[in-house]
Amino acid sequence: MAVERYSGLIVGQAVLWNIDALTLQPVIEGLPGADRYYSDGWKAYAALKWPGYHEVSVGKRDTHTVEGRNSELRHYLARLHRKTKCYSKSLSGLSQAVKLFVWGWNRRQRRYLAEPKLKGKLCLLY
Q: How many angstroms separate the CA atoms of 90 and 75, rounded?
A: 20
Q: Residues near 39 by Cβ (< 8 Å), separated by ≥ 6? A: 45, 54, 55, 56, 57, 63
Instruction: Tell me the pLDDT band of 126, cut-offs 50, 70 and 90.
Output: low
Buried b (16+ CB within 10 A) or exposed e, 1-26: bbbbeeebbbeebeeeeeeeeeebee
- At 2-15, the pLDDT tens digits run 999 888 899 999 99
Is pLDDT of 117 > 70? Answer: yes
For residues 64 and 57, the answer to whether their CB atoms sit within 8 Å is no
Residue 120 Ramachandran class (φ > 0 left, ψ -120 to 50 alpha, else beta): left
| Structure confidence at residue 17 as a pLDDT band (50, 70, 90) | confident
pLDDT digits (tens, 9 = 90+) for 68-111: 888 888 888 877 776 666 666 788 888 998 999 999 999 999 99
Residue 61 confidence (pLDDT): 82
The pLDDT of residue 12: 92
To the nearest whole number, what is the mean pLDDT of the chain? Answer: 86
- The pLDDT of 24-40, averaged and rounded, is 91
Every domain of the chain and the residues it spans: 2-118
Using pLDDT thresholds of 50, 70 and 90, give the confidence band for residue 120: confident
